[in-house]
Amino acid sequence: MDNEGRNCYHSLCYRGNYEVVTTLLNIERSYLKKTLMEQLSQEKHRFNLKNMDVKHGHLASSIYHDSDTIKRHEEFNIRVYNLFEQYTRDVLDRYRQILT
């Protein structure tokens, strides 16, 4: 921050370096994606789901799974949805910070 309350993004935009700002935002977004992927991996291990059980986000066949596996899968889907929702909010909040 400088004396007028501008951060580096404001300074770069003020100087006309739009491409630099875009690059910095893309770098931040990729860091957020990396964090999201680590969180997803942790959740997968926490819910103890096997790759064979899940195909394209759904249980391969709920007939062959016990009720505990079905419940864990539903809870996992809710957690994944919340993680993606948080990721979206983080990206939008970061853009809003830059624009204000």
Per the CB < 8 A criterion, the answer to whether 44 and 76 are in contact is yes
Q: What is the pLDDT of residue 51?
A: 64
Q: What is the pLDDT of residue 54?
A: 67
Q: What is the pLDDT of residue 48?
A: 79
- Any long-range contacts for 37-43 (C-beta under 8 Å, 24+ apart)? 39/83, 40/80, 40/83, 43/76, 43/79, 43/80, 43/83
Closest residue by Cα to residue 46 from 65, 72, 71: 72
Q: Where are the domains of the chain?
A: 28-99
Q: What is the pLDDT of residue 85?
A: 92
Q: What is the pLDDT of residue 82?
A: 93
Kindly report the number of other CB atoms within 10 A of residue 32's CB atom: 16
Tens digits of pLDDT across the chain (100 residues) = 566 676 766 766 666 667 677 777 777 888 888 998 898 888 888 887 766 666 666 677 656 667 787 788 888 889 989 999 998 888 888 878 776 6
Query: Residue 66: in which H helix or E strand, if any?
Result: none
Q: What is the pLDDT of residue 50?
A: 67
Q: pTM value?
A: 0.63
